Amino acid sequence: MIGFLKKALDNWPNSDLLLDDAEANAFKHEAPRLFRVLHFEKLQKEFREHDVKAMALKDKTHGRARTAVAFSIFGSTLLAISAFIPLEWLTPWISRIALLCTIVSLIWIGWQSFWGGNTRSEWLKLRYHCERLRQFHFQYIIQNWNAAIAAMDGGDDLNAFQKKRNTALKELSTSLGNSNHRYKEAINDIAQKKLWMCEKPDSEGSPELLSEDASDMLHAFHELRIGIQLRYSNENLREDRRGAGAKANLVEVAFRALPWMLLIFATIAFITSFNDQVWHTMSSVISIIIGAMALSAGVFIKVDRAIEERDRNEAYHARLLTLEAEFKSGSPEVKYAILRQMEAVSYEEMQSFLKTHERETTLL
């Protein structure tokens, strides 16, 4: 049992790539021969760059969208309470300020909905790039198993292995960067023709699985590839929130239309606040009602999305548990076959993730 790999599960985010320097040093001390092969500095650097960009892009979009929603809620609330303010001279101005907040926020939300697709696509592209790098890290060793086991000795075998792997990574990086919509190809890859990013060399032959080094590598893959993904999926399931409801397709259509209706009536209310009290009052009331409907529909959609995420995570977790059980009870040949199955499961989960988020209008 490799002690570090068990400890790594306590800090699961991206531990499989040994991104944390402290973890990498601990792993090097615990299993230096495995470290020579599993520590892939060039891939780690590229992964970090794209992961940081993806997180920053998501945080930036979240902040903007939530600010717009806050303005909308503030405007609708202020509009609702303006009718109860006893000072007649102040009421119209509060109403106008409220309507302006609502109008500005709705214009911003509309812009996010119709022209924010590029932001979403860029985020998905970055996430896809990261996950393909993660998959490549393990796939290359699986496809070049004998060379990887030989590289654990160091020397010329290690140099040759690293040189070929660096070349393969460079080709992959170029391929991933050449298309802005590469992730869409993955979504539509039903037959999983693009699952493996590197071919198994003819010189490999049958994988050598009976040596002590091969046994250690199988164990390392079990902990780093299957074990950490199990922990990851389990953490996701803990965060999922259960809710009731069927698919919200019709509600989502309504949700996309309601803000524009609210914008129209809020604009009418603002314009008529200067000269037509009847139209102002009527359009203000309609704006409040539509705003409440839009907010309710939005909450319903979010609950439905959470249910969909939960179902996806449960299915992924169940498949991982099956692979885990089969791996533990299997022969070395079975364990190696499970590693190949794990890559197919990982690819399918990535496809489901991309498909779910590709339908989102914004990152909110």
363 in any annotated domain = no
Judge whether residue 363 has pLDDT over 50.
no
Judge whether residue 65 has pLDDT over 90.
no
Judge whether residue 342 has pLDDT over 50.
yes
Q: Which residue has the higher pLDDT, 147 or 100?
A: 147
Q: Whole-angstrom Cα distance, residue 353 to residue 233?
A: 13
Name the pLDDT band for 242 (thresholds 50, 70, 90).
very low
Domain that holds residue 66: 3-358
Single out the residue of 81, 76, 66 nearest to residue 99, CA to CA: 76
Q: Whole-angstrom Cα distance, residue 221 to residue 16?
A: 9
202 in any annotated domain = yes
* pLDDT (0 to 100) of residue 250: 40
Judge whether residue 129 has pLDDT over 90.
yes
Q: Are 79 and 284 in contact (CB under 8 A)?
A: yes
Mean pLDDT, to the nearest integer, of 47-66? Answer: 83
282 in any annotated domain = yes
268 in any annotated domain = yes
* pLDDT (0 to 100) of residue 102: 66
104 in any annotated domain = yes
Judged by DSSP in three states, 12 sits in: coil
Q: Which residue has the higher pLDDT, 260 or 327?
A: 327
117 in any annotated domain = yes
In terms of C-beta distances under 8 Å and separation of at least 24 residues, what long-range contacts does 67-74 make, across chains too? 68/105, 68/108, 68/109, 68/112, 69/105, 69/109, 69/364, 70/105, 71/101, 71/102, 71/104, 71/105, 71/108, 72/101, 72/102, 72/105, 72/106, 72/109, 72/291, 73/295, 74/98, 74/101
Judged by DSSP in three states, 51 sits in: helix
70 in any annotated domain = yes
Count the domains in the chain.
Answer: 1
Residue 97, class by beta-carbon neighbours within 10 Å (0-12 exposed, 13-18 middle, 19+ buried)?
Answer: middle
Paired tokens of 354? 């991309």
364 in any annotated domain = no
Q: What is the mean pLDDT of the chain?
A: 77
Name the pLDDT band for 178 (thresholds 50, 70, 90).
confident
**Dihedral (C-alpha) 221, 168, 200, 215: value to the nearest 10 degrees?**
-20
Single out the residue of 284, 270, 286 nearest to residue 97, CA to CA: 270
